[in-house]
A and B are shown apart, each in its own frame.
Chain A
């Protein structure tokens, strides 16, 4: 199942647009899946909760969008610019926040992210409340990305590459060291590991991939706006990982798809009448998402994939995947 599940998911992702599912919606799913994978790489495997990941996602979106729109950079170069800025920001955030643990780590990432948010709301290049609009998709390697279907497969390929990259990172020995740090930091220190460097590298890689996700999102929807850098976006990605299964390989992808699906479908449900009761679901997305959040925390903290692994009897794996935070 470990080998087959990702391949089955990939096959499904490749076929869905051909089966008539709206490619732009699928692209949105993919960009958030990528964002969630990036977040999971750090919080899921290092066990520190970051409430600042929207900064990397949002800055990636702004920078890539601006590079393509105002400077006319080719799309791949604009993507690299988005990644570069997110990486630099991640390294800076990490260098500051990694020195603290538990709730203090979470609060520092939140405070730093607030500064980035205010910077973005003031800086001239972000377009303030209006954001960057009409970001052109251009071409990449001769592919007309303006076509939604072509762009979807472009993003899919990048997602697969990012997935493989993340799997390589969390494999031994780097990833195993990270998990050792998560499970027992004093022991890792006494074994002679430079714990801070490990955490910093993981955080920076995570930020870089989040930046790629944001950059792709800017090209997918053609906009980069303040909600992309707002802390609620960080909350969103936490929910995706929590719902799917923190610390599992496929959990973030599943979680992201469910949340994006929920947001889109609720909006399109419109008004539903049950006898005398009529409920307008188009405005209910935040309520439903809030309730899903609470249910996740109360009832299934391992998330969808985590619970599945547990049910399938792979007890050793399930114990490994249950998120455990150091405080």
Chain B
């Protein structure tokens, strides 16, 4: 079967690969969006936290002898804890200032983290083995896909929609949403907003850490793995619309797929198509596709 001059198999193959990238975009953008929503912080260090998650998994395996399944729990916890420390000790001091300062601060933090990792481990990638249980290929009919990639998409989707449900459907989520609207009022109602802020930052960072562990067996673990991802997930958050959880998830997945298709039809444009979309969306709908007009 030929669609748009291409065999169906090729198209479906690119769709699947796009979906895998898209699930990383969704997971990372979601953390970024949550952090922006409550803290008003454009977290430039998000890519660095993603890399730290992958590195934590690698360290756990090679130094601690901890297997993948434990790393899947431990690495997000460790990165999240690191995020909490950063928020409590440093980022907190910038509250109330123009959010461009927190953008610049996290930019510096990202440089320092990336520089430190590069200094210790060098720039060549550290290999992380695919866990034994997920090693085989799965035949999807149109292509044979490593089982691990299917696992990644599944985990990302479950975590993304779980987070969405947490924010939109639970009491904690309602505090969170209220906090983004009017922190003072929520504080006056007896809710510990500073604690909520700290935990939210920790949670957002932990999501980046989780994405890192998931990425470790696919990409090589290396210091700059986050910075190339970072700019794309900014684009996802901006295109999706600040403040919309579901919008961010859907945009992340969609952009992964669009990028995949661009690779088939016009490979040169694949890495820049996301930014073209971003510029167009920002000009036509400044609040993003799913965002509310400010």
**Residues on A close to B: CB < 8 A?**
49, 96, 99-100, 102-104, 106-108, 110-112, 114-115, 118-119, 122, 231-232, 235, 238-239, 242, 283-287, 289-294, 296-298, 301, 324-325, 327
> Can you list 28 pairs linking A and B with CB atoms under 8 Å apart?
A96-B283, A100-B282, A103-B100, A104-B238, A106-B42, A108-B279, A111-B279, A114-B231, A115-B272, A118-B271, A235-B107, A238-B104, A238-B107, A239-B108, A242-B104, A283-B118, A285-B115, A286-B112, A287-B112, A289-B111, A290-B108, A291-B108, A293-B105, A297-B94, A297-B101, A297-B108, A298-B94, A327-B99
Cα-based distance from A93 to B107 in the complex (angstroms): 23
> With A100-B282, A103-B42, A284-B119 in contact, do A293 and B107 touch (Cβ < 8 Å)?
yes
Shortest B205–chain A CB gap in Å is 16
Q: Which residues of A contact B94 (CB under 8 A)?
A: 297-298
**Residues on B close to A: CB < 8 A?**
42, 90, 93-94, 97-105, 107-116, 118-119, 227, 231, 234-235, 238, 268, 271-272, 275-276, 278-279, 282-283, 286
Cα-based distance from A119 to B268 in the complex (angstroms): 9
Apart from the given pairs A49-B100, A284-B119, 15 other A-B contacts in the complex at a CB distance below 8 Å? A49-B103, A96-B283, A106-B100, A106-B103, A111-B238, A115-B275, A286-B115, A287-B112, A290-B110, A293-B105, A296-B104, A297-B108, A301-B101, A324-B98, A325-B100
Cα-based distance from A239 to B105 in the complex (angstroms): 10
Whether B115 pairs with A298 at a CB distance below 8 angstroms is: no
Shortest B212–chain A CB gap in Å is 19
| Complex: chain B residue closest to A282, CB-CB | B119
| Complex: chain A residue closest to B232, CB-CB | A114
Q: Which residues of B contact A114 (CB under 8 A)?
A: 231, 272, 275
Does more than half of chain B's interface fall in helix, strand or loop, or is it mixed? helix
Shortest A45–chain B CB gap in Å is 15
Shortest B284–chain A CB gap in Å is 11
Whether B105 pairs with A297 at a CB distance below 8 angstroms is: yes
Q: Which of B100, B102, B113, B114 has the most CB of A within 10 A?
A: B100
